[in-house]
Amino acid sequence: MSIVAKDVGKKIGDPPTQILTSINFEIPDGQFLSLTGHSGSGKSTLLYLLSGLDCVSSGSVIVDQVDLSRMKKKEVAHFRNEKIGFVFQFNYLIAELSVLENVLLPAKKYGQEKNRLELAKSILEKVGLIEKLNRLPRQLSGGEEQRVAIARSLVMGPKYLFADEPTGSLDTGNGEIVMKMLKEVHEQKGTTVILVTHEPDYARRAQRQVSLADGRIISDSGPSLELSLPV
Amino acid sequence: MISMVSLAIRYLFSRKRQSLFTLLGIFLGAGGFVVISGFFLGFRFFFIDNLVNNSAHIFIQARQEFLEPHSLDESFFKNETKHVFWKSIPAGEKDYHRIESPQGWYERLDSDPKIEAYSPQLVVPALFSKGGSPIAAGFTGCLPEKQARVNTVAANMVEGKFSDIGGGGNRIIVGQELLKRLGAKIFENVMVTVGVGKQTPFQIVGTFDSGNKRSDLQAYGPLADVQRANHTLNLINEIDVRLFDYEQSSTKATTWSALSSETIESWDQRNSSIFTMFALQAMMRNIIVFVIMLVAGFGIYNVLMMTVSQKMKDIAILQAMGYESWEIRLLFLFQGFLLGVVGALLGLIAGFFICQYLQTLPFGGRPGATRPPGHLTIELTMGIYLQASLLSMMSALIASYLPARAAAKFTPIEIIRGGAV
Ligand SMILES: Nc1ncnc2c1ncn2[C@@H]1O[C@H](COP(=O)(O)OP(=O)(O)O)[C@@H](O)[C@H]1O
Ligand SMILES: [Mg+2]
């Protein structure tokens, strides 16, 4: 099983501008991949396409042998809920809900919040927020908010974790904490992690490094590379 | 789904002031509907109740007839000539209107199981005087035991009993208003002029007060005595009928009209102007409530539209984690619905208590009346509450429909790329 991008192209806007061109690669399950490139090179756009948040303009994205563009809306929603964890660059927490409620929100979609409660607490414990699970987002620091967002993306035990510059707005300390979390889910749960980052240091820790420029892949350290540097 | 409901509640609570303000609109709409409806319907009920209880339900009256150019030929010339030429052609209303075959009517009314009672009458305009200048008033000759069963005159007696005119002997019962204008007292004699006849003395043996000035400018006497005074023995010109079910009055009246030459009116046909007023009241109420609901609905619409634009980020993140468009719509529809339900509930409760209070206010009666005033009649039927809650819920739902649709319109990526971040 894997994520496969076949000749993926994406146009946005009116008039349409080509954002991504002929993206071809395969991410085998359990890989830790980093995606780098200048701002505006199309990293976020690619992440949205691979995670089923957005639709391709040409080509296809095939996840676990299913073409995402062939899925019905309902199926895509279910797919995202069950298999995809997504960490946005900005902290997308719901201001009216407590830390724990925010983390459990994906579980609520199919009435799973009871089953996931223990897992949610253990994740919050790991990220050092167990004391603050009844706080509201405005009572947290930026780093704490991002950790909650990561906890939320992990609560459904996703097979694929996408992180779009999760450390972008954090200081080094908090950045390290986030990187440690990603490393942990990858190693302990075998989760496929796709990390967009500007930090060459963080990118180097991935098993495979892909670079984008002007919507094209300009370098790919290769699907078979199994090098894993210590965190 | 439950998660959307609880999130909707959180949203409402996080904007307490706005929510309260919006509630107020629905509250006023629902409460206003209950109070205004209760007041108007109560008023209507009071009027109808008064009408159908105090008066007969159907009035069968002799048709007004006019002289034809040759309708007097026979009386004057018998069979002498075939062609009569009048210098002044006969014209105008006939002297006496009569119900042509009262016996036929009695048989029909006696055999109809829907008829509770009926009373044959001779109703004539009359001049009453007691020394001073004469007072014009209606004079009804009737059979007291029959009359007592078709309207409430017998129950409204202030002095004497209605049956006191039963034995004949030129005795009458007069309304309080007539008594006052005559300056007469009970057991005094008054002179009554009826038709072209000379004055006939009648003795007042009782008085009544119906609560209505116009009906109190009237007198009742024994049928035979009035016929004699009017020089029209055996003539009756009206039969008043009471039904067991007053709501069938107009149907019955219409049926009978088709079968006979008499003029037949039911109580509601006779008071049709009041029903026009009721219709006007209902329209007024609808307009007031419509305006309140419009304002309330607009409030909800505004607040929700604002919430949608403030919560774009939340919408994107919810969709990204797998929530579907219908759930996003529900999130906003439910906020409107909740405002509608809570506002309506508070409005109904407030409306109920205001109605309770209004009911204690005195109403009816008039200065100098012998009867004590009643209370304001307020209708408090379930129907009004049901209508009010339906109406408020409808307006809340309609008002939240557009914001809900707007919320679910965008894909998460459109929101993220659109710069909502
Ligand atoms: N709504 C939009 N309309 C048109 N172009 C857009 C829109 N959003 C992003 N882009 C363009 O798409 C390109 C890729 O954006 P993005 O995927 O966010 O890049 P990255 O994440 O690598 O910084 C950029 O050149 C950006 O200007
Ligand atoms: Mg980006």
- Name the band, by pLDDT with cuts 50, 70 and 90, for residue A13: confident
Task: Tell if the CB–CB gap between B322 and A81 is shorter than 8 Å.
Answer: yes
Name the pLDDT band for B80 (thresholds 50, 70, 90): low
Q: Is the pLDDT of residue B202 over 70?
A: yes
Counting from 1 in the atom list of ligand 1, the atom nearest the Cα of A47 is: 17
Report the C-alpha gap between B413 and B68 in whole angstroms. 93
Residue B58 lies in a domain: no
Range ranked top by mean pLDDT from A59-68, A222-231, B63-72, B211-220: A59-68
Dihedral of the CA atoms A75, A77, A79, A80 (nearest 10)? 170
CA distance B222 to B369: 27
Shared domain check, B295 and B238: no
Indicate the residue among B261, B294, B320 that finishes a domain: B261
Q: Which pLDDT score is estimated for A225?
A: 43
Interface test with B, best of A94, A113, A159, A164 (most B CBs within 10 A): A94
Contact call for A86 and B321, based on CB within 8 A: yes
Q: Clarify whether residues B215 and B312 are in a common domain.
A: no
Instruction: Return d(Cα B195, Cα B191) in angstroms, integer.
Output: 13
Supply the pLDDT for residue B420: 43
pLDDT interval class at B95 (50, 70, 90): low
Predicted confidence at residue A179, as pLDDT, reads 92
B117 and B257, same domain (yes or no): yes
From CA A22, how far away is CA A59, in angstroms rounded? 8
B20 domain-assigned: yes
Same domain flag for B190 and B238 = yes
DSSP A68: G
- Kindly indicate the confidence band of residue B166, based on its pLDDT and cuts at 50, 70 and 90: confident
Q: For chain A, report the end-to-end CA distance as a whole number of angstroms.
A: 27
Task: Quick: pLDDT tens for B313-358.
Answer: 999 999 999 999 999 999 999 999 999 999 999 999 999 999 989 8
Following DSSP, what letter does each residue of B11-35 receive, concatenated?
HHHHTHHHHHHHHHHHHHHHHHHHH
In a domain, B112, yes or no: yes
Instruction: Note the pTM of the prediction, 2 decimals.
Output: 0.75
The verdict on A94 touching B (C-beta cutoff 8 Å) is yes
- Give the model's confidence band at B372: pLDDT under 50 very low, under 70 low, under 90 confident, else very high: low
As for ligand 1, residues whose beta carbon falls within 6 Å of it are A 12-13, 17, 19, 37, 39-45; B 417
The shortest CB-CB distance from A106 to any of B10, B313, B322 is to B322
Q: Are residues B247 and B291 in the same domain?
A: no
Whole-Å CA distances, B296 to B25, B158, B338, B390, B394: 4, 53, 14, 14, 11
Give Cα B300 to chain centroid, integer Å: 37
* Closest A-chain CA to B3: A108
Find the ligand nearest to A89 CA: 2
Residues B162 and B135 in one domain: yes
End-to-end CA distance of chain B: give it in Å, rounded: 26
* Angle, alpha carbons A22-A26-A32 (nearest 5°): 120
Q: A192 C-alpha to center of ligand 1: Å?
A: 25
Please tell me the distance from the alpha carbon of residue A84 to that of residue A100, in angstroms, as a whole number: 20
Which range is least confidently modeled, A56-65, B75-84, B213-222, B300-309?
B75-84
Give the β-pairing of B374-375 and A84-87. Answer: unpaired
Nearest-atom index, ligand 1, CA of A41: 22
What backbone torsions phi and psi does residue B416 show, to the nearest 5 degrees?
-65, -45
In angstroms, what separates the C-alpha of B335 from chain A's closest C-alpha? Answer: 14
Same domain, B116 and B237: yes
Q: Which residues lie below 8 Å from residue B161, measured CB to CB, with a gap of 6+? A: B154, B206
Top-confidence residue, B364 or B282: B282
| Confidence (pLDDT) at B243 | 94
Q: Which residue of B has its CA nearest to A51?
A: B320
Average pLDDT of chain B to the nearest whole number: 87
Q: Which of A17, A19, A89 to mutate to test the pocket of ligand 1 (most atoms within 8 A of CB)?
A: A19
Q: Is residue B26 part of a domain?
A: yes
Q: Please state, for a pLDDT cut of 70, what percent of chain A lies above it.
A: 96
Judge whether residue B373 has pLDDT over 70.
Answer: no
Strand partners, A63: A3, A66
With a cut of 50, say whether residue A228 has pLDDT above it: no
Provide the β-strand partners of residue A126: none
Last residue of a domain, one of B213, B235, B261: B261
Residue B159 forms beta bridges with which residues?
A: B207
d(CA A99, CA A97): 7
Q: pLDDT tens, A76-114?
A: 999 999 999 999 887 789 999 999 999 999 999 998 889
- Residues A106, A155 contacting (CB under 8 angstroms): yes
Query: Which residues of chain A does B320 touch, with a Cβ-Cβ cutoff of 8 Å?
Result: 53, 80, 86, 88, 92
Atom of ligand 1 nearest to the CA of A165: 21
List all residues 6 or more positions away from B310 whose beta carbon is below 8 Å from its beta carbon: none
Tell which wins on pLDDT, B44 or B188.
Answer: B188
Whether B182 and B238 map to the same domain: the answer is yes
| Identity at B144, one-letter amino acid code | P
Domain check: are B156 and B10 in the same one? no
What is the reported pLDDT for B364? 62
Query: How many contacts, defined by CB atoms under 8 Å, are there between A and B?
Result: 60
Assign 3-class secondary structure to B69-113.
CCCCHHHHHCCCCCCCCCCCCCCCECCCCCCCCHHHHHHHHHHCC
CB contact under 8 A, B322 and A97: no
Q: What is the pLDDT of residues B259-268, one digit of tens each?
A: 888 899 999 8
List the domain range (segments joined by +) for residue B312: 2-53+274-417
Quote the pLDDT of residue A226: 47
Cβ A53–B2 below 8 Å, yes or no? no
pLDDT digits (tens, 9 = 90+) for A167-209: 888 888 888 988 999 999 999 999 999 999 989 999 999 999 9
Give the pLDDT band (50/70/90) at residue A23. very high
The string of pLDDT tens digits covering residues A126-164 is 889 999 999 999 999 988 999 999 999 999 999 999 999
For residue B376, being part of any structural domain is answered with yes
* Residue that is last in its domain, among B205, B239, B261: B261
Res A230 pLDDT > 50 = no
Same domain assignment for residues B11 and B132: no
pLDDT of residue B132: 81
Do both B283 and B148 map to the same domain? no
CA quadruple A197, A199, A200, A204: dihedral, nearest 10: -60
Closest to B238 (Cα-Cα) out of B118, B337, B333, B415: B118
- Strand arrangement of the beta sheet that strand A58-63 belongs to: A17-28, A2-12, A58-63, A66-67
Question: What secondary structure, in 3-state letters, does B272-307 show?
Answer: HHHHHHHHHHHHHHHHHHHHHHHHHHHHHHHHHHHH
In a domain, B76, yes or no: no
Q: Span B211-226, mean pLDDT?
A: 90
* CA neighbor of B124 nearest in space, from B212, B190, B196: B196
Distance of CA A183 to the CA centre of its chain: 13
pLDDT, one tens digit per residue, over B333-343 is: 999 999 999 99
Overall number of domains in chain B: 2
Q: State pLDDT tens for residues B279-298.
A: 888 888 888 888 888 888 99
Task: Using the mean position of ligand 1's atoms as its centre, give its distance from the Cα of residue B46 in Å.
Answer: 73
Task: Give domain status of residue B84, yes or no.
Answer: no
Six-digit token string for A165 = 């510059």
Q: Write out chain A residues lying below 8 Å of B319, CB-based.
A: 77
Same domain, B133 and B250: yes
Instruction: Tell me which of B17-21, B56-60, B141-145, B164-168 is least confident.
Output: B164-168
Name the residue of A18, A44, A53 to mutate for ligand 1: max ligand atoms within 8 A of Cβ: A44
- The residues near A192 (Cβ < 8 Å, ≥ 6 apart) are A3, A27, A28, A29, A30, A31, A32, A33, A159, A160, A161, A186
**Interchain pair A77, B323: CB under 8 A:** yes
Among A41, A48, A50, A195, the mutation site with the greatest number of ligand 1 atoms within 8 A of its Cβ is A41
- Look at residue A77 and give its three-state secondary structure: helix
Residue B382 in any domain: the answer is yes
* pLDDT attached to residue B301: 93
